[in-house]
């Protein structure tokens, strides 16, 4: 008789970003070129200063670091945040193994088993994974393609609050929608969390990716929720250093931070070398990100324009991050995504993107939507969008026949 695994792991969702990987592997084995718009892996070079910092180390032993992160790195981080008007002290910061661990720690710290965290959907799908690990219930509040995935009216969030609700979690700028909260919208949430005595957790890893002159607002800018604001951050996107696995959890609630430290102690420490790289990044010139930002805005404009020009496709122009969710004239976007990997070829090339239904907590939403990560250079992106359009046309014809 088969060994029984835990129900929670059996029920756990497969990553919608990575579940189609076997189809992609199969195609790549056959030498098909795939344009990857499915995962938020930027193609921008990691600043060479970061790898140089690692290459210039000369220690003899790769030792455990402190559980809350290397002191030098924690001492340097407030300087980075100060550029964005976020005033922090080193003791407000605990370095984590990427933003992933910061989210898991935040969930465990605020909620017991079965308690609830409200998140607007579609949301970063890995929140599900961490909720499963922590056995916390995600309560989704739906946002819609029709409104450009604008934050929902506060009333709709209020309606979801129960005596088991412990926090509201936002991703701002949003993966997967590209929505950016206005200052007023953040303020409304701050007010709600103050009134309702909830933690406000903000995943702000795309802070720098805000277009058209919009200004990002951090939850750390509101002194009135100093005891309940928890920021989650990561260097993965801003420095194109996804493989470094360095993030942090930030709060001025020091009782919370002392308790989070216990979680940190259990896993001993985040990787040492990459903290040295991350520290080097803090000293990059102020203008470092300007070029990257201009490049991503250009890419967004390409993808948006091409989507708008595709008959039957609906989307609004996203304001931030490097994702866009598009509503397609198909019944099942996953089927279309698999079709592109298995059957569609143009000059032996195809394109990969993520079906968006996995980004929803509510059942049966987003079935006709896809998430595109615009992480390729302009030329590749244009070609990828051409493949998308051709593929969609062919898919629709094939379905009819």
Using CA atoms, how far apart are residues 312 and 291, in angstroms rounded to an integer?
A: 34
The nearer residue to a copy of itself, 133 or 365, going by C-beta atoms, is 133
The nearer residue to a copy of itself, 264 or 391, going by C-beta atoms, is 264
Residue 43 CB, nearest approach to a copy of itself (Å): 7
Residues facing residue 233 across a β-bridge: 248
Residue 21 CB, nearest approach to a copy of itself (Å): 8
The nearer residue to a copy of itself, 15 or 332, going by C-beta atoms, is 15
The nearer residue to a copy of itself, 68 or 306, going by C-beta atoms, is 68
Residue 365 CB coordination number (10 Å) = 17
Using CA atoms, how far apart are residues 165 and 7, in angstroms rounded to an integer?
A: 23
Residue 237 CB, nearest approach to a copy of itself (Å): 11
Residue 392 CB, nearest approach to a copy of itself (Å): 27
CB 104 within 8 A of CB 133: yes
The nearer residue to a copy of itself, 55 or 215, going by C-beta atoms, is 55
Element containing residue 230 per DSSP (H, E): strand 229-234
Locate all alpha helices (DSSP H) within 18-57, ordered by sequence. Answer: 21-29, 48-55
The nearer residue to a copy of itself, 235 or 315, going by C-beta atoms, is 235
3-state SS assignment for residue 269: coil
The nearer residue to a copy of itself, 198 or 324, going by C-beta atoms, is 198
Tell me which DSSP letter residue 91 carries.
Answer: G
Element containing residue 247 per DSSP (H, E): strand 246-250
Residue 222 CB, nearest approach to a copy of itself (Å): 15
Q: Which residues lie below 8 Å from residue 358, measured CB to CB, with a gap of 6+?
A: 13, 14, 15, 16, 17, 19, 125, 366
Residue 389 CB, nearest approach to a copy of itself (Å): 28
Q: Which residues lie below 8 Å from residue 328, measured CB to CB, with a gap of 6+?
A: 312, 313, 336, 368, 369, 370, 392
Residue 327 CB, nearest approach to a copy of itself (Å): 26
3-state SS assignment for residue 160: coil
């Amino acid at each position: 008789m088969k060994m029984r695994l835990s129900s929670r792991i059996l029920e756990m969702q497969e990553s919608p970003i990575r579940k189609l990987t076997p189809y992609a592997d199969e195609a790549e084995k056959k030498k098909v070129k795939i344009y990857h718009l499915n995962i938020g892996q930027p193609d921008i070079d990691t600043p060479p200063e970061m790898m140089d910092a690692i290459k210039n180390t000369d220690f003899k032993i790769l030792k455990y670091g402190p559980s809350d992160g290397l002191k030098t790195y924690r001492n340097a981080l407030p300087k980075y945040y100060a550029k964005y008007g976020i005033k922090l002290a080193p003791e407000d910061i605990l370095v984590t193994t990427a933003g992933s661990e910061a989210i898991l720690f935040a969930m465990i710290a605020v909620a017991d088993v079965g308690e609830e965290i409200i998140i607007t959907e579609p949301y970063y799908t890995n929140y599900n994974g961490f909720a499963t690990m922590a056995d916390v219930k995600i309560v989704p509040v739906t946002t819609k393609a029709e409104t450009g995935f604008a934050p929902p009216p506060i009333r709709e969030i209020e309606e979801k609050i129960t005596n088991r609700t412990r926090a509201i979690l936002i991703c701002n700028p949003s993966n997967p929608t590209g929505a950016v909260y206005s200052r007023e919208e953040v303020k409304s949430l701050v007010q709600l969390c103050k009134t309702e005595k909830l933690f406000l957790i903000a995943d702000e890893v795309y802070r720098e990716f805000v277009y058209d002159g919009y200004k990002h607002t951090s939850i750390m800018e509101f002194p009135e929720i100093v005891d309940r604001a928890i920021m989650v951050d990561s260097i993965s996107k801003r420095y194109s250093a996804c493989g470094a696995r360095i993030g942090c959890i930030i709060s001025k609630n020091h009782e919370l931070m002392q308790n989070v430290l216990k979680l940190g102690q259990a896993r001993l420490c985040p990787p040492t070398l990459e903290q040295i790289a991350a520290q080097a990044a803090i000293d990059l010139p102020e203008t470092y990100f300007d070029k990257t930002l201009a490049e991503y805005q250009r890419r967004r404009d390409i993808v948006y324009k091409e989507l708008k020009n595709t008959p039957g496709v609906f989307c609004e122009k996203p304001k931030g991050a490097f994702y866009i969710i598009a509503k397609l004239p198909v019944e099942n976007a996953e089927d279309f995504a698999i079709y592109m990997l298995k059957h569609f070829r143009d000059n032996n090339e195809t394109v990969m993107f993520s079906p968006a239904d996995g980004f929803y907590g509510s059942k049966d939403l987003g079935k006709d939507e896809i998430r595109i990560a615009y992480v390729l250079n302009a030329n590749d992106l244009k070609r990828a969008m051409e493949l998308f359009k051709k593929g969609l046309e062919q898919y629709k014809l094939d379905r009819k026949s």
